[in-house]
């Protein structure tokens, strides 16, 4: 018998007798959106920012550019850190102002 044929037969015999794996495939939902990030993206070219935090992935920032291209931005970028800090402070200010108004009987209706 030819050595290649014998090796192929042995391989097929082992493969058919091997126990099947019960592991489930990783769904696309569980994969991280950003596999690589950019450190430099001109702020004036950004149309929209999306923030994703999923259990198995680090914090991800996706920028939709004015040309409709989506890129991942490094969340440690200095301008982005400042942007997030300002946004959080603005939300805290608005929340505190709203709470103050409610405590003093003032109700705002914005049109």
Going by CATH, does the domain composed of 29-110 fall within 3.30.450.20? no
Other C-beta atoms within 10 Å of 2: how many?
7
33 contacts 53 by C-beta, under 8 angstroms: no
pLDDT at 108: 55
Assign 82 to helix, strand or coil: helix
The model's pTM is 0.56
Of the candidates 73, 79, 67, which has an alpha carbon nearest to the alpha carbon of residue 34? 73
pLDDT at 109: 56
∠ CA 5-10-16, rounded to 5°: 125
d(CA 34, CA 107): 43
List, for residues 10-54, the tens digit of each pLDDT value: 544 444 454 444 444 445 556 788 888 888 888 899 999 998 888
Beta strand spans in the chain (E)? 46-52, 60-65, 70-73
Domains of the chain, residue spans: 29-110
**pLDDT over 50 at 8, yes or no:** no
% residues pLDDT > 70 (the chain): 66
33 contacts 75 by C-beta, under 8 angstroms: no
Mean pLDDT lowest among 54-58, 66-70, 102-106: 102-106
């Amino acid at each position: 018998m030819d050595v290649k044929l014998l090796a192929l037969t042995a391989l097929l015999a082992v493969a058919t007798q091997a126990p099947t794996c019960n592991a489930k495939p990783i769904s696309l939902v569980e994969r991280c959106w950003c596999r690589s990030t950019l450190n430099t993206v001109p702020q004036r070219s950004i149309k929209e920012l999306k923030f994703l935090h999923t259990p198995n992935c680090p914090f991800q920032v996706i920028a939709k550019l004015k040309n409709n291209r989506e890129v991942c931005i490094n969340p440690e970028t200095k301008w982005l850190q400042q942007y997030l800090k300002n946004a959080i402070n603005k939300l805290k200010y608005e929340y505190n102002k709203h709470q103050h108004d409610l405590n003093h009987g003032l109700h705002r209706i914005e049109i």
